[in-house]
A and B are shown apart, each in its own frame.
Chain A
Amino acid sequence: MIKSTYAGLVLGSLVLGLCNPGMSMDPPPQTSDQKSDPRSTESNHTIDFINDLIPMITKLGCNAGKCHGSAIGRGGFKLSLYGGSPKTDYDEIVRRHGGRRINLADPESSLIFIKPAEFIEHGGGAVIEDDQHSMLLLDWIEQGAKFIRQRELKHIEVHPARYVATKVGDTTSFKVLARYHDGSTRDVTNLTRFTADDSTAVRIDKGSATATLERTGRHIVIARYSTEVIPIELLVPTSQVAPDLSHETRKNFVDEEVLSSLSELRVPVSPILDDRAFMRRITLDLTGRLPAQSVETDQTAIDRETIIDDLLRSEAFVNFYTLKLARLLRIQSKQDKNLVTTTPQAARAFHDYLARQLRARVGYDQIAREILTATGDTSKYGPAAFFTAVEDPRLQTEFTTEVFMGSRMKCANCHNHPLDKWTQDDFHGLTAMFSKLTRSQVIRLNPIGKNIHPNTGEAALMKLPGGEFLPEDTRDGRSTFAAWLTDRDNPYFARAIVNRLWQSLMGRGLVEPLDDFRATNPPTHPALLDRLASDFIDHGYNIRHTLKRIAMSTTYSRSSNPIAGNETDGRFYSHRVATPLGPEVLADAISDVLGIPSRYGNEMPGTRAVDLKDGGVRSDALDILGRCDRSNSCEGAPSPIGPLAQKLHLFNGELLNNRIGAHSGRLDTLIKSQKLPIEIATEFYQVALNRHPNKNELKFFEHLFNPKESSARQRAVLEDFVWGLVTCREFTINH
């Protein structure tokens, strides 16, 4: 199309002044605070390289990783990824190869135009299809192909930023408004690239910037203009009938936020758990243990707040949350291929440190500061072992930002992060701080340590992520980083940890994966995440406070059994997400039910899996149950062994078989006390499931246990019953 008419269009641009994409668009609906009319600011027709040309190149995909944005460019033409470095892009377009890409005398014969418009062969095909885009490019050359930045972008606004449709098939059009530091604004919709996270749920028409919603649920479209990336949330209710959620109890802001999103999506909620089921859930969630067998809870209603407080005060809570933190911090004895070593003593020391801090209710901000600035002998001062968890300073940057910011900075090692704001300077600036440390068993400052910035070939300057450079003579930048990180206005730190706490009680993070916070991966409940974070900060970064806040909500206590209309919801908390017991918790629960502990490495007999201080302790049982190898992030890692191999082991392996009927175990003891099989079964139900067998189960037991059979055979049947109990679904998940 362009091939036949481009000359006419160029003419048209001169006559009609169509050079600027903002011109032909209506201004967005809300422009009350607009300081100047976009039309007037556009009137000089000057093409701005930074604000017009680069965004257009990004929109057309020329600087994407698979085209000229690749690390070595493409076809001898290299652009920075998504326009991260406009200055080098300008040199590449205008200056390199003696300027042969630009023909000022005859813009239409410039290589930079005839290639993408495919007048001559172009590997990427005809990418310029829109008349406005070709005219923008031609006018820029006509005006002298200058490096002009007329103004500096402040941010963009997308309208609507959130859209709630009424049904599948609804459409909405986007408008994007750029705000500049000089106070001017303009419509940049035609220079913005829109990408749907799920292209089968949202269809985007690029020409009109319109989204058509093709599936129910919540969907994300990413708008990208220049360096700005904004997620747009699109909701399509799952049903035409709105459930009445107005009578649901709202205990705190958790319930307000969760119910408000469920109302929008028109999803009904499951009922509240009874006391026994609640006891099992909360005890497992806060202490990693089955509830203790003591008082009959059937007669009088329990006070759930007292239960929660007691659990949070217990040593079992300290041990279980120490395990969670230890897994997060990858505490295990190891030696990697760079010979960076964590000794078993260091792993224990770090584990003990965490337990002490949790026991003493030290704020999470202080724990983070102490870990990040630790020096000294790792075997004596555990937190220093944070710097032997990974092999080198660059991995330390990835590890640190994943743990404490929930942010994956990895991409910014080699190029500015394509989906996030992180630049190479951010990555290498943080790495520069970690380069000033010896990675030995004693962590010391190493004044000559440096991190070579791949772009400059020189030592990178220390820099706060997204912030300022540190003075060149800084010896140890870590305390500045730690102070910045744990500042109450830091947008990452508190959100990352409350998201983890939320996930540990609710089965799913508000942001998933837990360590992948970025603008292009927004939370399911942004306001809830914000409120949890401020509430956490306001209460002294107190982990117990936030856990209690969540545990006290009605949302937490919903049944995991779905009801009609919410069966397919896995993200909006209409019912509890049933989660498999973690490998350590399951191993301990099995031991508790069987009445015989498992042995772990050379640990003292009776040591619980949850209490192991070193993730590197050998244990086939834990490996089979799916223990995470802490040499990498444990986020979302499922059992590496797979369900079939796991079941084969349950049938034929040692995990259960060598303990079920063993001497002085629970079953053996009960049999020797002359109890009837049905009494034994009932007791096992109490211990394992915290409930009595129901009518149908009792009937099944009567059928299963035959008192006329030989005692050896009865014993075998009882063993098989116990095997079934610790293998069944109700036992192996928290529900």
Chain B
Amino acid sequence: MGDILRLQRATADNPLSNISAKAKAKSCILIWLDGGASHLDTFDPKPEAPSEVRGPFDSINTKLPGIRVSEHMPRTAKILDQLALIRSVTSPFGVHNFAIQYLMSGHKPTPALQYPVMGSVVAQLQSNQNVLPPNIAIPNLISRDSATIGNGFLPTMTKPFSLGSDPGKANYQVRDLDFYQGLDLTRLDRRRRIVNSMNTLGNLELQGKGPSDPDLERAYNILASEQAKAAFDLGQEPEYMRDHYTLDPRANVDDSNNIGQQCLLARRLVERGVPFVTVNNTGWDNHLDLATYANRHPGDPRSASHALVPGLDKALSALVVDLADRGMLDETLVLVMTDFGRTPKINSTGGRDHWPNCFSVAMLGGGVKSGQVIGSSDALGEFVKDRSITPGDLAATVYTLLGIDPAHELETPDGRPIRIAPQDSNVISELLA
């Protein structure tokens, strides 16, 4: 027993030892389909099922023999050999906030402690001294229940930096990066030093060491770096590249969030060393009518250009090609995840409701053994038939791919050690290339 503990402690002290040598991924792009994307209408169609389960869409063949995906994902189908699909993810949580907490952190939510999301854990453990925030959310992390989804017990430094502006929209611009009139870097530097003096000389005792206001320090460092500011500027991408990611670049996308431009920005950021970027694409919580999966505003032809599933198809396939062209595919782990699946049986309004019992997740790049489907759902997509995978397993695998020991322990402010992936989680070994 004592030996086991010592062993754990040894690995815990150095999370990047052993595994990091093998790990290829340096950064991670999490494409989050917010609201719960239907597994049956994306990565796990059931063409043989009765129509109330099969739904309104056909399925198509892919590069992988015998594996089919939704008819609205033709581009992804062609490169499916570069992905790994997991069709047997299962979670007990059918309400958004608990589901998101579980999927994003790998830990089941508990009232006793708020766990950090994976991006915050990576931010906490990363070693590079990049000026850019280590954990960025495009355009923001999550709109619902933001209280429980974020850095958890970790310092605010690791909280996802939300752009607050959507690169999918025409008026995209990250706020407050340009100097206010009459100000320059010298004055901002003085302001920063004044705050620090007041915080340290004043009558309140400060907790911890380092700068008295680390967030202010980070904001200053970004403003002081032209390169850092340029990372957010999509205008620096050539026109053809912006088109490449988007279904119809000439369409009016002001009323929507365009997943293509979100993914393109994510690529710019990981290219500049940001270890974790979350693309939070909203609109997937479809209870009413599945038609929006193919056409965001049914009846409005313009909106076909940024429909949910075709938009994802275009963005995901473009991202894979772009990363490969730049030689970044091996060092960039891409995840496509969501709150939960949708009820296999279509409801009375033609939509699907929440279904956490079985759903799909896609992974690619960064050391993922591609061209395989792991696990399966039953004939109706209701339950896991084979190889049950928990969100904890996913987290353990993501950490491993990023060269972080899933058994590594972080400390809460009151000194309690917490494993980054839960005790009962297992790395999905067949995913590791």
Cross-chain contact of A729 among B162, B188, B206 (Cβ < 8 A)? B206
A31, CB-defined interface residue at 8 Å? no
Kindly state the separation between the CA atoms of A27 and B144 in the bound complex, as whole angstroms: 49
B428, CB-defined interface residue at 8 Å? no
Report whether A721 and B194 are in contact in the complex, using a CB–CB cutoff of 8 Å.
Answer: yes
Kindly state the separation between the CA atoms of A201 and B94 in the bound complex, as whole angstroms: 27
Report whether B204 and A729 are in contact in the complex, using a CB–CB cutoff of 8 Å.
Answer: yes
A459, CB-defined interface residue at 8 Å? no
Report whether A70 and B357 are in contact in the complex, using a CB–CB cutoff of 8 Å.
Answer: yes
A570-B414, A729-B212, A730-B199 known; 6 new pairs, CB 8 Å cut-off, are: A561-B205, A568-B413, A578-B204, A647-B215, A651-B176, A700-B197
B424 shortest CB reach to chain A, Å: 10
Chain A, residue nearest B143 (CB): A640
Chain A, residue nearest B383 (CB): A74
For window 357-389 of B, CB contacts with A under 8 Å fall at 357, 382-383
B64, CB-defined interface residue at 8 Å? no
B168, CB-defined interface residue at 8 Å? no
A197, CB-defined interface residue at 8 Å? yes
> Which of the segments B6-14, B22-30, B108-116 contacts the partner chain?
B108-116
Q: Which 7 A-B pairs have the closest CB atoms?
A: A724-B194, A198-B112, A647-B219, A66-B92, A643-B215, A728-B198, A568-B414
Number of interface residues of B (CB under 8 A): 60
For B159, the chain A residues whose CB sits under 8 A away are 642-644
Report whether B218 and A647 are in contact in the complex, using a CB–CB cutoff of 8 Å.
Answer: yes
B146, CB-defined interface residue at 8 Å? yes
A526, CB-defined interface residue at 8 Å? no
- Contact bitstring B173-214, A, C-beta under 8 A = 1, else 0: 001111110110001101100110111011111100000110
For B203, the chain A residues whose CB sits under 8 A away are 277, 691, 694, 730
B238, CB-defined interface residue at 8 Å? no
Report whether B213 and A729 are in contact in the complex, using a CB–CB cutoff of 8 Å.
Answer: yes
A595, CB-defined interface residue at 8 Å? no
B193 shortest CB reach to chain A, Å: 8
Report whether B188 and A642 are in contact in the complex, using a CB–CB cutoff of 8 Å.
Answer: no
A637, CB-defined interface residue at 8 Å? yes
* B interface, over-half SS: loop
Chain A, residue nearest B179 (CB): A652
A72, CB-defined interface residue at 8 Å? yes
B418, CB-defined interface residue at 8 Å? yes
Report whether A657 and B183 are in contact in the complex, using a CB–CB cutoff of 8 Å.
Answer: yes
Report whether A725 and B215 are in contact in the complex, using a CB–CB cutoff of 8 Å.
Answer: no
Kindly state the separation between the CA atoms of A215 and B199 in the bound complex, as whole angstroms: 34
For B112, the chain A residues whose CB sits under 8 A away are 197-198, 201, 219
- Contact bitstring A667-701, B, C-beta under 8 A = 1, else 0: 00000000000000000000001010010110010
Kindly state the separation between the CA atoms of A654 and B183 in the bound complex, as whole angstroms: 12
- A residues sitting closer than 8 Å to B (CB atoms) are 64-66, 70, 72, 74-75, 123, 197-198, 200-201, 215, 217, 219, 277, 410, 521, 560-562, 568, 570, 578, 632, 635-638, 640-654, 657, 689, 691, 694, 696-697, 700, 704, 716-717, 720-721, 723-725, 727-730, 735
For A717, the chain B residues whose CB sits under 8 A away are 190
Report whether A653 and B205 are in contact in the complex, using a CB–CB cutoff of 8 Å.
Answer: no
Kindly state the separation between the CA atoms of A727 and B414 in the bound complex, as whole angstroms: 27
Report whether B162 and A641 are in contact in the complex, using a CB–CB cutoff of 8 Å.
Answer: yes
For A632, the chain B residues whose CB sits under 8 A away are 144
A656 shortest CB reach to chain B, Å: 9
Report whether A645 and B195 are in contact in the complex, using a CB–CB cutoff of 8 Å.
Answer: no
B110 shortest CB reach to chain A, Å: 6
Report whether A641 and B201 are in contact in the complex, using a CB–CB cutoff of 8 Å.
Answer: no
Cross-chain contact of B190 among A642, A691, A697, A720 (Cβ < 8 A)? A720
For A724, the chain B residues whose CB sits under 8 A away are 191, 194-195, 197-198
For A578, the chain B residues whose CB sits under 8 A away are 204
Cross-chain contact of A704 among B110, B187, B194, B216 (Cβ < 8 A)? B194
Cross-chain contact of B147 among A75, A215, A410, A637 (Cβ < 8 A)? A637
B14 shortest CB reach to chain A, Å: 22
Cross-chain contact of B416 among A200, A277, A640, A728 (Cβ < 8 A)? A200
Interface centre among A65, A644, A724, A729 (most CB of B within 10 A): A644
For A197, the chain B residues whose CB sits under 8 A away are 110-112
Report whether A645 and B178 are in contact in the complex, using a CB–CB cutoff of 8 Å.
Answer: no
Report whether A644 and B215 are in contact in the complex, using a CB–CB cutoff of 8 Å.
Answer: yes
B20 shortest CB reach to chain A, Å: 26
- B residues sitting closer than 8 Å to A (CB atoms) are 90, 92, 94-95, 110-113, 133, 140, 143-144, 146-147, 156, 159-162, 164, 175-180, 182-183, 187-188, 190-191, 194-195, 197-199, 201-206, 212-213, 215-216, 218-220, 222-223, 357, 382-383, 413-416, 418
Interface centre among B188, B194, B414, B415 (most CB of A within 10 A): B194
B426 shortest CB reach to chain A, Å: 15
Kindly state the separation between the CA atoms of A24 and B171 in the bound complex, as whole angstroms: 73
A-B contact pairs, 17 of them (CB 8 A): A217-B414, A277-B203, A561-B204, A568-B415, A632-B144, A644-B159, A646-B215, A647-B220, A648-B177, A648-B222, A652-B178, A652-B183, A653-B180, A720-B194, A724-B198, A728-B198, A730-B198
Cross-chain contact of A640 among B111, B146, B188 (Cβ < 8 A)? B146
Report whether A727 and B178 are in contact in the complex, using a CB–CB cutoff of 8 Å.
Answer: no
For A642, the chain B residues whose CB sits under 8 A away are 156, 159-162
Kindly state the separation between the CA atoms of A626 and B95 in the bound complex, as whole angstroms: 25
Kindly state the separation between the CA atoms of A143 and B190 in the bound complex, as whole angstroms: 85
Interface centre among B198, B205, B219, B222 (most CB of A within 10 A): B198
Kindly state the separation between the CA atoms of A637 and B146 in the bound complex, as whole angstroms: 7
Chain A, residue nearest B194 (CB): A724
For A215, the chain B residues whose CB sits under 8 A away are 416
Chain B, residue nearest A649 (CB): B176
Given the known inter-chain contacts A651-B191, A700-B197, A720-B187, please indicate yes or no for A562 contacting B202, CB distance below 8 A: no
For A644, the chain B residues whose CB sits under 8 A away are 133, 159, 161, 215, 218-219, 222
Cross-chain contact of A72 among B183, B205, B382 (Cβ < 8 A)? B382
Report whether B357 and A66 are in contact in the complex, using a CB–CB cutoff of 8 Å.
Answer: yes
Kindly state the separation between the CA atoms of A277 and B204 in the bound complex, as whole angstroms: 11
Report whether B176 and A653 are in contact in the complex, using a CB–CB cutoff of 8 Å.
Answer: yes
Kindly state the separation between the CA atoms of A224 and B112 in the bound complex, as whole angstroms: 19
Report whether A697 and B205 are in contact in the complex, using a CB–CB cutoff of 8 Å.
Answer: no
Kindly state the separation between the CA atoms of A637 and B161 in the bound complex, as whole angstroms: 17
Kindly state the separation between the CA atoms of A6 and B204 in the bound complex, as whole angstroms: 67
Cross-chain contact of B219 among A123, A200, A648, A689 (Cβ < 8 A)? A648
Report whether A723 and B177 are in contact in the complex, using a CB–CB cutoff of 8 Å.
Answer: no
For A646, the chain B residues whose CB sits under 8 A away are 215
Kindly state the separation between the CA atoms of A197 and B147 in the bound complex, as whole angstroms: 19
A397 shortest CB reach to chain B, Å: 16
Kindly state the separation between the CA atoms of A721 and B190 in the bound complex, as whole angstroms: 9
Cross-chain contact of A730 among B110, B202, B382, B418 (Cβ < 8 A)? B202
